[in-house]
Amino acid sequence: MERELALEFVRVTEVAALAAARLMGKGDKEAADQAAVDAMRRMFDTVHVDGTVVIGEGEMDEAPMLYIGEKVGAGGPPSVDIAVDPLEGTNLVAKGGPNALSVVAVAPRGHFLHAPDIYMDKIAVGPKAAGKIHLDAPVIDNLKAVAEAYNKEIEDVTAIILDRERHEQIIAEIREAGARVKLITDGDVSAAIATAVENTGVDILFGIGGAPEGVIAAAALKCLGGEIQGRLCPGDEKECARIKEMGLADPRQLLLLDDLIKGDDVIFAATGITDGDMLRGVRFFGNRAETSSLVMRGHTGTIRFVRATHRLDKKKI
């Protein structure tokens, strides 16, 4: 994929972030999500790709736009698969919380794992600790590996994890090991990415979150040189059958980074909606707004932070 496309996908996340940000703190997560979806879908019509949504807002009968299988783009080549989360952290925007993002990941056809909307157990780290952790290893062993990779004491390692009842045991083990814990209410895509971005203060992600979000995070970590491992968590036989339809003979197999996304020809773009560890949220100034974005290419390892000022047209946002 040509590098010029990278900035085109930043425009896609920017408009979604601008639309959602207007509803920050207003307590209506559905409205914020719909605003982001509508804006992102319109902007895709201007991007010259032959795109197919493989991770999106749900199945065709669940979502009117950006549904799985929907064709987007103004036409190509290239022919690409697209993974989107127009608003990652709907509750965060509704409550004015931190780290809400709009994200897009793009790769050649067939390169993404078409993850169903079920849970995935995950572990993620940045480049220095890549290859030194394992999803099945004890929590203490993974924390020690990260501490050694970063040349710090285990007491100075920070693990990030969703604040959920299902994680009580893991949280207890992290604390018993002496490491620091950062609990988040939502948004494990941004949390996984934060492990691989300097100065976020986050070293490792643990815990169970959405499988589609795991694939999107994998796209970013491939660009950053980090690592994520996952295992799908089917809740019943129907979900097991769905996983097998994806081509995974064992629904509980360990999924490595290259299983989640093949190759390194991937583009990842994200724009901050609310202030976060990596990106500032949208700022409004009269008839203008400012956005902060991140765009990366796996093929070259290029990472760009993009700060943009937009003239507002309320009819288009």
Side-chain-facing half-sphere of 92: CA atoms under 13 Å? 25
Map residue 106 onto helix, strand or coil.
Answer: strand
Q: Give pLDDT, residue 315.
A: 45
pLDDT at residue 171 tops 60: yes
Q: What is the pLDDT of residues 138-162, one digit of tens each?
A: 999 999 999 999 999 999 999 999 9
Q: CA–CA separation, 255 vs 247, rounded Å? A: 13
Map residue 314 onto helix, strand or coil.
Answer: coil
The pLDDT-based confidence of 316 (bands split at 50, 70, 90) is low
Cβ count within 10 A of residue 131: 11
The 119-125 sheet, strands edge to edge = 180-184, 158-162, 204-210, 119-125, 227-233
The predicted model gives 30-41 an average pLDDT of 96
Percent of the chain exceeding pLDDT 70 equals 97
pLDDT at residue 102 tops 80: yes
Domain boundaries, the chain: 4-110+266-311, 119-260
pLDDT at residue 2 tops 70: no
Q: Give the CA dihedral 63, 123, 304, 110, nearest 10 degrees.
A: -50
Lowest average pLDDT, out of 58-67, 109-118, 142-151, 201-210, goes to 58-67
- DSSP-assigned states of every residue in 262-287: -SS--EEEEEESS--SSS---EEETT
Percent of the chain exceeding pLDDT 90 equals 82
With tokens 């971005």, the residue in question is 197
pLDDT at residue 100 tops 90: yes
Q: Give pLDDT, residue 112.
A: 95
Q: Which two tokens stand for residue 197?
A: 């971005």
Q: Phi and psi for 151 in degrees, rounded to 5? A: 55, 50
Q: What is the pLDDT of residues 276-307, one digit of tens each?
A: 988 999 999 989 999 999 999 998 889 999 99
Q: Which CATH fold would you assign to the domain 4-110+266-311? A: Fructose-1,6-Bisphosphatase; Chain A, domain 1 (3.30.540)
Under CATH, which architecture does the 119-260 domain have?
3-Layer(aba) Sandwich (3.40)
Q: What are the residue ranges of helices labelled H in the chain?
A: 4-21, 29-44, 90-95, 139-149, 168-177, 188-194, 211-224, 237-245, 257-260
Q: What is the pLDDT of residues 239-256, one digit of tens each?
A: 888 888 877 888 889 999
The pLDDT-based confidence of 3 (bands split at 50, 70, 90) is low
Q: 92: closest CA among 40, 21, 38?
A: 21
- DSSP-assigned states of every residue in 115-163: --SSEEEEEEE-GGGTTS--TTS-HHHHHHHHHHHTTS-GGG-EEEEE-
Residue 288 region by backbone torsions, left for phi larger than 0, else alpha for psi between -120 and 50, else beta: beta
The predicted model gives 105-112 an average pLDDT of 95
Q: Give pLDDT, residue 4.
A: 77
Q: What is the pLDDT of residues 112-134, one digit of tens each?
A: 998 888 999 999 999 999 999 99
Map residue 308 onto helix, strand or coil.
Answer: strand
Q: What is the mean pLDDT of the chain?
A: 93
Sign of CA dihedral 49, 54, 60, 65: negative
